[in-house]
């Protein structure tokens, strides 16, 4: 509830700063129940694909889905979509490309750690969220299903698949607490994601982009086991001859 209350507060603050003189019926402050309904509609839309937002409120017998109109009017939904806001403007674009969502991302990370503590085995992998618009840090990964989108590094519990921590990739300026020359950027990402779970006896599984002797030694020193595929030419890897 605190999470959604934050969205309500920042959205109302933004609305009052840009539409304070507008007196139309849909141009009013929002509240907690309404934002819950808005989020529920967005989730339902992901399961009920249509070509445009207007089609969800269509009266056409072949298109109409009554539930959307029963929960919220089309114009109110579109207005909320326009003014929805996720930051208090404490962080600016000069310091962080993700400044519009950074505060709510921090809240989400804290919530993820509170609601569930992982089992022994953890894994880290990258994910690509489909994005078709213009974005300076949009990534192209041909091996992914969506190929174009927003890349993030995600720490998950292997037994349940529950997300424990994440870092959104925003280019060379991706926020990390520190970067060690010994373990490189990939190792630094691992250490930042694992920070709340070090010295707890966990075992981490990763792919060859993260695996390095230096990283695994550092994890072992911090009470964490690790297992992963390797790149033979990675710095620090012993030379293994085909014929022994």
Residues 160/119, Cβ–Cβ less than 8 Å: yes
Q: What's the pLDDT tens digit per position in 44-56?
A: 999 999 999 999 9
| Cα Rg of the chain (Å, integer) | 22
Question: 79 and 139 share a domain?
Answer: no
Q: 18-61, pLDDT tens digit by residue?
A: 876 566 667 889 999 999 999 999 999 999 999 999 999 999 98
Residue 92 lies in a domain: no
Q: How far apart are CA 11 and CA 18, in angstroms?
A: 11
User: 215 and 126 share a domain?
Assistant: yes
Pairing, β 139-140 against β 148-157: antiparallel
Is residue 69 domain-shared with residue 163, that is, in the same domain?
Answer: no
| pTM, rounded to two decimals | 0.81
Q: Are 71 and 37 in contact (CB under 8 A)?
A: yes
**pLDDT score, position 147:** 76
Domain assignment present for 149:
yes
CA–CA separation, 47 and 106 (whole Å): 28
Cα separation, 123 vs 195, whole angstroms: 14
Domain that holds residue 39: 1-83
CA distances from residue 36 to 4, 115, 193 in whole angstroms, order as listed: 8, 19, 29
Is residue 221 in a domain?
yes
Does residue 88 lie within any of the structural domains?
no
User: Domain with 136 in it: what CATH number?
Assistant: 3.30.420
Give residue-wise pLDDT tens across range 168-206: 988 765 656 555 677 888 899 999 999 999 999 999 999
Residues 120 and 223 in one domain: yes
pLDDT reading at 244 higher than 60: no
């Amino acid at each position: 509830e605190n999470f959604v209350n934050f969205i309500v507060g920042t959205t109302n603050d933004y609305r009052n700063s840009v539409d304070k003189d507008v007196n139309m019926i849909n141009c009013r402050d929002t509240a907690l129940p309404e934002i819950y309904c808005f989020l529920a509609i967005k989730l339902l839309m992901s399961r009920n694909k249509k070509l445009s937002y207007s089609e969800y409120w269509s009266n056409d017998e072949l298109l109409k889905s009554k539930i959307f109109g029963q929960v919220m009017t089309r114009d109110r939904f579109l207005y909320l979509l326009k003014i929805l806001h996720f930051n208090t403007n404490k962080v600016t674009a000069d310091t962080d490309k993700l400044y519009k969502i950074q505060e709510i991302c921090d809240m989400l990370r804290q919530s993820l750690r509170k609601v569930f503590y992982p089992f022994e085995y953890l894994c880290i992998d990258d994910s690509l969220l489909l994005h078709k618009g213009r974005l300076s840090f949009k990534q192209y990964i041909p091996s992914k299903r969506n190929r174009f989108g927003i890349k993030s590094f995600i720490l998950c519990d292997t037994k349940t698949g529950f997300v424990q921590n994440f870092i959104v990739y925003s280019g060379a300026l991706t926020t990390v607490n520190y970067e060690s020359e010994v373990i490189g950027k990939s190792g630094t990402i691992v250490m930042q994601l694992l920070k709340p779970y070090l010295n707890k006896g966990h075992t981490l599984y990763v792919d060859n982009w993260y695996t390095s002797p230096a990283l695994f030694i550092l994890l072992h020193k911090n009470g964490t086991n690790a297992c992963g595929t390797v790149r033979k030419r990675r710095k620090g890897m012993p030379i293994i001859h085909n014929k022994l």
